[in-house]
Chain A
Amino acid sequence: MELLDVSLINWSRGQFALTAMYHWIFVPLTLGVGIVMAIMETLYYKTGKEEWKKATKFWMTLFGVNFACGVATGIILEFQFGTNWSNYSWFVGDIFGAPLAIEGMLAFFLEATFISIMFFGWKKVSRGFHLASTWLVMLGATFSALWILVANAWMQHPIGMQFNPDTARNEMVDFWAILLSPIALNKFAHTVLSGWVLGALFVVGVSAWFILKKRELDFALRSIKIGAIFGVVSSILIIATGDGSAYHVAQKQPMKLAAMEGLYEGKEGANIVAMGLLNPEKQYDNDEETFIVKMDVPIPKLLSLLGYRDADAFVPGIKDIIEGYTLSDGTVVPSFVEKQASGKKALQAFNDYREAKTAGNDSLAVVHKAVLDENFKNFGYGYLEKPADLIPNVALVFYSFHIMVALGMLFLVIFMAVWFFHWKKKLENVRWLLWGSLFSIPLGYLATQLGWVVAEVGRQPWAIQDVLPVQAAVSSVSTGSVQLTFFLFLALFTALLIAEIRIMVKQIQKGPGE
């Protein structure tokens, strides 16, 4: 039997990351600009003013270009679970597949059906029908995000399932626990809101360009006002859900939190790092300083407070998670070595169970099943070789997290400033703010990408937290095949992105008036 090599796993990961990151270039703008255009069409419906219709159609054209790219990259993402992660597809397909199927049945058809009316129905259906179609497209897009994010949240915190040794897979036992998991709901809200922030940045930035060029001023001022208000609301909400995300990470994925904060040695009353430069020599098992330079947020004990809702709570560091630790409430968390031993015991018990079943020895099978059940929570650790396997890329997670947070704060300031100067009717004179708004658009993309880097790199090595590491999830295809498809996808997506950007720029230059 051929052995899986590390390069296959890394290329498969790379291919999935490539597809997901390209997909996430297009989707958040769809979510955000879509809401803005729906708001504008609602204003058109209520006031009957052609200016609102003109603005709606302008943003709708950009939405359409972007939407097509999201669809193109999305289909590959869905099917890659099968092509590149076939073991995963069987091992947890019983749970993971259901949200994808429901997403297709209920959300995608809603989008696909009403998007035709939205684009081609201006002269064919009533204004009310058209408005309803636009909102239904957005409902479909958001609904679609819900299901895929429920699936993703479940991978970060697998619940509502039970391992069945007869079928060699995990099976769903509580649909509502999966759908209504606080982690899923928070992830849904946080991710959709990140799309709203990006959409608002895009609308504000593009409108700022029109104002700087002194073109389409009426349209630009209408749009920038909607964009800024939408941005302020979204930014405030995203801070709240960001807090929720970090809280859940602290509870369920302490290694990810430790990486986000560059925390190697756990402590009670831990601070949050405002900014810092990590020492590349630092390992969990050496005595090097973690940071070359570091500045904490000037509110003491904030990490303990936000992570555990207790300013004096113990926050475990990477070393603690490897060596085992005791939480403030007395909970003892075993070391890596203990979990690894338990995981290997689970794997062995599963093997023994199957052999006993094949031999028809049911009573022995019951004994092995009991061992398996007792150790299943550490099943995935049985595949790991050494403590370092448990640690994600700390620098990548740390910097991604801190840059994302800093950018989020910057965006809130920009939205508030734009709203303020618009209200004071001085916006056209504040050119530095207009230029700043325009150049914030790529920063918005950067922030949303970094958010996913934190979420996905931070949970490595797990495909399913504690249950299935990536090396046990991958398909058995040759590394060369995956390399070839990686570069094919890279070429296709890049060509697509270049065309998309150029079309968007041309459409913006053309403006809404023509």
Chain B
Amino acid sequence: MTTYAFLQHYWWFLISLLGGLLTFLLFIQGGQSMLFSLSKTEDEKRLLVNVLGRKWEYTFTTLVTFGGAFFASFPLFYSTSFGGAYWVWIIILFAFTIQAFSYEFQSKPGNVYGKTTYRSLLFINGLLGTFLLGVAVATFFTGSDFTVGKGNITNIASPVISRWGNAWHGLEALACPRNLFLGLTIFFLARTQATLFFINRLKHEVLENRSHKYLLYNAIPFVVFFLAFVISILLSEGFAVQDDGTVYMEKYKYFNNFIDMPVVGILFLLGVVAVLYGIIASILKQSFKKGIWYTGAGTVVTVTMLLLIAGYNNTSFYPSSTDLQSSLTIFNASSSEFTLKAMSWASILVPIVAGYIFIAWRALEKKKTDMDDINSDSHAY
């Protein structure tokens, strides 16, 4: 493997890992989507808001970094997908924008629109943010309607390189059942993880018990939709790439990727087992509180491996269903070797970032959160 190819693989791995981390951190959104159902009283709502509100920035920052890293390492994806699937990304952006101020504003006097409005915005973020991110990522496996023509840049009247093939600009992805499967998988996974997080973090008997019930309600549809998505992509044709860059349809491509990359396949299975263990152990044993860590770690590994089979082993990670040869691969969509190398040096600092996140998280989470904790905090939401 040349240095350039190694760097392209390295950055696809980092993107995949960021995707995995983001999916885990979407438990914040999952919790928000249950604000009006899991909690019945104002105190319960306030507790949920505060326990989630101390972590929302991690999800948000991971999303921003995911976008920034994609821009820097695979700019043709950024250009093609964001500029083409315009409406899907704009709605996702809206869904996350309304989260950013809703925690901070909801309990402040003079917030104009009232507490319920801000909580409703958090609910919308939890609903749309998770579902649409899942739908958007599913198109990595199912394809989208676009063409890429780099030579267009010389056309003075119309120099756009990437063009979308229909006026729905991404919303057409909602018509594909397999995309919906992943959207619903992510939605129910986020809610499942949220219940596990509440079980782990809250010192509130009623909410803990209710979280156990909600865990079951959400874990079952999560598993059903996850299996539906995984089985459908493993049994379907995938977008394979020949050595000369020609893209063609290959039967069972994603299944073959697991076979061709056994480490990825084994880690995927281990990730799934960890996710299920966290869920099942929490359901069966009320005193088991660490389900979030098993399910969370499993989610990171599973999603990372899923994204790896979308980009590794001569696979198009952002395929065009309209014009196969416009499909994006980690080779034709990446930044130059120089840029990938420069950013790789910067990425060496990531363990330091992880280290201080760990220290800060521990410092704030030495004990479980209860109402006394909230009432004595001058900055509580």
Contact = CB atoms under 8 A, between A and B. Distances in A.
Contacts of B58: 112-113
B100 A68 contact: yes
A106 B347 CA distance: 9
A115 B57 contact: yes
Given A93-B335, A350-B154, A477-B169, A65 B161 contact: no
Contacts of B110: 499, 502-503, 505-507
B76 interface: yes
A64 B104 contact: yes
A90 B169 CA distance: 19
Contacts of A382: 156
A348 B155 CA distance: 10
B363 A97 contact: no
B232 interface: no
A111 to B, nearest CB: 8
A101 B343 contact: yes
Contacts, number: 296
Interface stretch (B83-91, B206-214, B252-260): B83-91
Interface stretch (B67-75, B222-230, B273-281, B288-296): B67-75
B378 interface: yes
Nearest to B109: A506
A485 B157 CA distance: 24
Contact of A502 (B86, B111, B161): B111
Contacts of A73: 97
A245 interface: no
A119 interface: yes
B164 interface: yes
A122 B378 contact: yes
Contacts of A79: 67, 82, 89, 93
A502 B113 CA distance: 11
A180 interface: no
B322 interface: no
B92 to A, nearest CB: 9
B253 to A, nearest CB: 26
B270 interface: no
A173 interface: yes
A95 B64 contact: no
B67 A78 contact: yes
Interface residues of B, number: 82
A500 to B, nearest CB: 8
Contacts of B75: 89-90, 93-94, 97, 169
Interface string A84-106: 11110111011111101111111
B364 interface: yes
Given A109-B357, A383-B159, A121 B343 contact: no
Interface stretch (B130-138, B235-243, B308-316, B348-356): B348-356
Nearest to A472: B159
Contacts of A89: 71, 75, 78-79, 82-83
Interface in B333-381: 335-336, 338-339, 342-343, 346-347, 349-350, 353, 356-357, 360, 363-364, 366, 376-379
B49 interface: no
A471 B157 CA distance: 9
Contacts of B81: 82
**Overall SS of chain A's interface:** helix
A97 B72 CA distance: 4
Interface string B121-160: 0000000000000000000000000000011111111111
Contacts of B161: 86-87, 90-91, 168
A427 B303 CA distance: 62
B72 A83 contact: no
A75 B65 CA distance: 10
A81 B78 contact: yes
A351 B68 CA distance: 31
A391 B366 CA distance: 61
Nearest to B359: A113
Given A79-B93, A100-B71, A124-B366, A71 B65 contact: no
Q: How large is the interface on A (under 10, 10 to 19, 20 to 34, 35 or more residues)?
A: 35 or more
Interface in B155-205: 155-164, 167, 169
A1 B118 CA distance: 44
A172 B336 contact: yes
A78 B364 contact: no
B154 A502 contact: no
A4 B169 contact: no
A506 to B, nearest CB: 3
A304 to B, nearest CB: 38
A510 interface: yes
Contact of B78 (A82, A115, A347): A82
Given A79-B82, A86-B80, A101-B73, A506 B153 contact: no
A119 B56 CA distance: 13
Nearest to B378: A57
B379 A64 contact: yes
Contacts of A61: 379
A499 B98 CA distance: 13
A108 interface: yes
Contacts of B154: 347-348, 350-351, 354
A274 B61 CA distance: 45
A72 B101 contact: yes
B87 A167 contact: no
B96 interface: yes
A100 B65 CA distance: 8
A105 B112 contact: no
Contact of A84 (B55, B72, B83, B364): B83
A166 B356 CA distance: 42
B54 interface: yes
A108 B18 CA distance: 14
Contact of A93 (B57, B63, B72, B338): B72
B90 A112 contact: no
Nearest to B96: A75
Nearest to A492: B97
Interface string A490-501: 001001101110
A203 to B, nearest CB: 20
B10 interface: no
A4 B157 contact: yes
A211 interface: no
A492 B275 CA distance: 38
B358 to A, nearest CB: 10
Interface string A142-161: 00000000000000000000
A215 to B, nearest CB: 17
Contacts of A435: none
A477 B79 CA distance: 12
A123 B94 contact: no
A477 B83 CA distance: 7
17 contacts: A57-B378, A65-B104, A81-B71, A82-B67, A82-B79, A98-B72, A101-B72, A110-B356, A117-B364, A120-B379, A122-B378, A125-B363, A172-B336, A476-B158, A477-B86, A481-B87, A507-B108
Given A84-B83, A477-B164, 20 more contacts: A3-B158, A72-B97, A72-B98, A83-B82, A86-B82, A86-B161, A91-B161, A93-B75, A93-B335, A97-B78, A100-B68, A108-B65, A123-B376, A123-B377, A133-B360, A168-B161, A172-B335, A472-B156, A499-B110, A507-B108
5 cross-chain pairs, A with B, having the tightest CB-CB distances, nearest first:
A86-B83, A82-B82, A93-B75, A506-B110, A97-B72
Interface of B: 54-55, 57-58, 60-61, 63-65, 67-69, 71-73, 75-76, 78-84, 86-87, 89-90, 93-94, 96-98, 100-101, 103-105, 108-113, 150-164, 167, 169, 335-336, 338-339, 342-343, 346-347, 349-350, 353, 356-357, 360, 363-364, 366, 376-379
